[in-house]
Amino acid sequence: MTDIAPPDAPADVAGLPARAAALDLLTAALGGRAGMDEGLSHPALAALSARDRAFARALVMATLRHLGPIDAALQAKVKKAPPDKVVQILRLGVAQAFLLNTPAHAAVATSVDLVARDKGLAMFKGLVNAVLRGLLREPPELADPDLLAPGWLQARWRAAFGVEEAHKVAEMIAEEPATDLSLKDAGAGPGIAAELEATVLPGGTLRTSRRGDLATWPGFAEGGWWVQDASAAIPARLLAVRAGETALDMCAAPGGKTLQLAAAGATVTALDRAPARLKRVTENLVRTGLGAETVAADAANWKDGRGFDAVLLDAPCSATGTFRRHPDVLWAAKPSDIAGLAAVQSKLLDAAARRLKPGGRLVYCVCSLEPEEGEGQVAAFLSRTPGVALDPIVAGEGGAPARSLRADGTLRILPHHTAGGTDGFYVARFRKA
């Protein structure tokens, strides 16, 4: 990395709009829960070519996956923190230079140019140039697992899983995941796997390293598959619905589990409180040719007297287990969020129990690594709900990693439990007497 432009040399501005869009996206992603989703709809990103849009997103994802080490490297070079926008530009500059292999002169010059575009920040051009040049002379270590997640989350994971397991969880943060797919027809698996150069995981999930526009992949237009993490596909399998049974997906969006239940032959009701998110469920049903009733309502207070043979509750949660695809969740989460979400989960579990027919099955899951949203919820639910008992999961059932099975028959799936990584999940199954 010796080809560094002089401070006053003109930047290679061909990719500057992409970097400006990345700045907007990173700012949105770190602005709070769901910030990344909101940022992806930003007009500046939509206006880019497909290639520049992909670059902007890859730059932000690389930055978020290494945010802790990047900040540590910057803090060692900057005595007094500059304005937040300058910090974001420095973060992107470091990610370009050391994670995306952007030529050193382009990483520095475009970062300086981003600062220069804001008249109120022009005074920081020299700082940005000096800091990035300094790091290029002394490359930082950006993969330290002890820095890849906020300290408060690391401490929680050590307390919950032990030091060694928490370290393995953190190591997964920096890894870019492959794409996991669930199939409409399991029998088509070998053919689709061959076309997508995919491997078949336990349970039937396909995993591919293919990149690019999903809509151009074999089988997409025909509705043969949908994107769904390997862990996220396990809860619906554990319900083991049969043709003719009624099934309720209580928090259905974006719809992967609804599709699984419908593909298994159940008569499915997909419930979600957000009509906009429910629209995605409907779109996926149309594309795959599967059928389900969709209802926009608050699952905890839904005014419908029906009972169901099977109920699936993938409850709203801190989503800390999804950091492989959504690294922003680690930095947007706050300790206070967990208690608030746990209260919501408790209400939804009670509502789910009321929807069960005698002998009915309930699967509760969260894509969270936090015990209050998993193990703690189940213990409290059982203590206050007579007539409902755990229906223990057995080793390997539903494609779950054997090492994820707990002594009580619930699952605590950690991201390193599957080779190549998987989302962190907690899953419990119950049966009504």
Tell me whether residue 77 is exposed, middle or buried, using C-beta atoms within 10 angstroms of its C-beta: 0 to 12, 13 to 18, 19 or more. Answer: middle
150-167 as b/e: b if 16+ CB within 10 A: beebbebbbebbeeebbb
**CA-based nearest residue to 27, from 53, 49, 56:** 56
Q: Which of 251, 317, 365, 367 is catalytic?
A: 367
Active site residue 367: yes
Query: H or E stretch including 96?
Result: helix 84-98
Residue 309 contacts residue 247 (beta carbons within 8 Å): yes
C-alpha to C-alpha distance for 173 and 136, rounded to whole angstroms: 24
Q: What single-letter amino acid sits at 411?
A: L
C-alpha to C-alpha distance for 376 and 402, rounded to whole angstroms: 22
C-alpha to C-alpha distance for 415 and 227, rounded to whole angstroms: 18
Residue 248 contacts residue 271 (beta carbons within 8 Å): yes
Sequence-distant (≥ 6) Cβ neighbours of residue 261 within 8 angstroms: 236, 239, 241, 247, 249, 268, 292, 310, 312
Strand partners, 269: 248, 293
Residue 252 contacts residue 273 (beta carbons within 8 Å): no
**CA-based nearest residue to 127, from 79, 60, 73:** 79
| DSSP state letters, 339-382 | HHHHHHHHHHHHHHHHTEEEEEEEEEEES---GGGTHHHHHHHH
The beta strand positions in 209-352, using DSSP E, are 225-227, 246-249, 267-272, 293-296, 308-314
Q: How, if at all, do strands 425-432 and 411-413 pair?
A: antiparallel
Catalytic sites, residue numbers? 367
